[in-house]
Structure 1
Amino acid sequence: MQALDALLNRVSVPRLVEPAPTAEQRQALFGAALRAPDHGHLQPYRFLTVEGAAREQMGELLAEAAQMQEGEVTEAMIDKARNGPLRAPLVVVVIARLQEHVKYPKAEQLLAAGCAAHGILLAAYAQGIGAVWRTGELAYSKHVANGLGLAADEEVIAFLYLGTPQKEPRVAEKVDLAQFVSAWPGNA
């Protein structure tokens, strides 16, 4: 697949089934992630793969975090959290590792980690792997961060769900670029 095809046509694929990406496909997924723009070469990201029974354990961790939320928490909310990781055969947790640095602010590091996540999505699309980026407020829970073994300078920025598309992915909708792009006329 041509790079521009992946960039212009990638779509989220939320309905995923077995099999998960192969070891060879994962090499390409993470290789693409490591090509993210990275000012200062800090590599401010890392990844956890969650599959098999570990998805159920992650679901329990998310359910516990859901129960700890403020406000009304329903059984439906807890069940949704518990079943979330079971929606795909592989969940990749994208973690930003934000470092104090005199020259490279944390905001740039966070963007680099986001670009790494996007690289995984593009590489998945290019290989015919279904993928969708999900987070939600539980991704930012201290309980979830602790349960996943994150350090104090780390935070979850994405749960990437990957697998085989259950059905043919939709076609990317065409967008009017003029709604998003304009020329700056400079100071008059």
Structure 2
Amino acid sequence: MLPALAIYKGIMTDSATPHSPTLSFLLSRVSCDALAEPAPDKHQIAAILSAGLRAPDHGKLRPWRYVVIKGKRRAQFAELVVRAMRAVEPDISEKKIEKRFHRFSEMPMTVVLGMHLEESGKIPVSEQEASVAAGAMNVLNALHAEGFGGMWVSGDYMNEPEFRSALGLGDSDRIAGFIFVGTPTKTPHMPRRPEIEDYMAFWTGEPVSFRADT
């Protein structure tokens, strides 16, 4: 197992500006799907997912619904994924089916990012979805803090009705994706981050422009 501190020390930031240890640590997070056992135990994953519940939540609707798949249930879940893929794309290639089955059945743990949405209330659905996404980022950061790796993935099959139902999600619920969880088998490669100057601007009373758009 590569502890979080070891991963953090092995990745240099590309800025000369000094940061607090916490901010430097957050800047060192990177997605990782080269994952092996061990996955978090039941107490660790409960604490990690609790970080997701600290996301902003307009109206206190609590839209987060996390379904954890691990151990012997992984192959059973992979079968559900394959069935949903075939339902959405009947002519899908066997190569894609085999790849997806292997991926879901071999990952040490998968967390389904369920969304319990209230479509008829005062809070826009887009804000509820944003809360789930913010929670997912908190979970990824919490995994990193605890020495685990994570990768958020999705697919056009994930909201197939029978697939959702098999996970206990209702007709108005949706899935925002899956987080693969495990222990990194090597120090993740840290791609060079985009320059923040391309993506921020200070408003001075006139419309701003972004270098990234030019």
Q: TM-score, normalised by structure 2?
A: 0.81
For residues 10-159 of structure 1, the aligned pairs below 5 Å read 10-70=29-89, 72-100=91-119, 102-159=121-178
Q: Please, what is the CA RMSD of the aligned residues?
A: 1.9
Q: Is the 8 A contact 2:161 2:171 kept in 1?
A: no
Q: Which of the pair has more CA radius of gyration?
A: 2
1:177 is the counterpart of 2:199: no
Where do 5+ consecutive residues of structure 1 fail to align? none
Alpha-carbon shift at residue 175 of structure 1 (Å): 2.3
Where do 5+ consecutive residues of structure 2 fail to align? 6-20, 208-214
Alpha-carbon shift at residue 64 of structure 1 (Å): 1.1
Q: Is the 8 A contact 1:66 1:77 kept in 2?
A: no
Q: Which ranges of 4 or more aligned residues in structure 1 deviate by more than 3 Å?
A: none
Alpha-carbon shift at residue 101 of structure 1 (Å): 5.0
Alignment match, 1:5: 24
**Count of aligned positions:** 188
Q: Is the 8 A contact 2:113 2:176 kept in 1?
A: yes
Deviates more, 1:34-43 or 1:78-87: 78-87
**2:177 counterpart letter in structure 1:** A
Query: C-alpha separation between the residues in 2 aligned to 1:4 and 1:139?
Result: 34
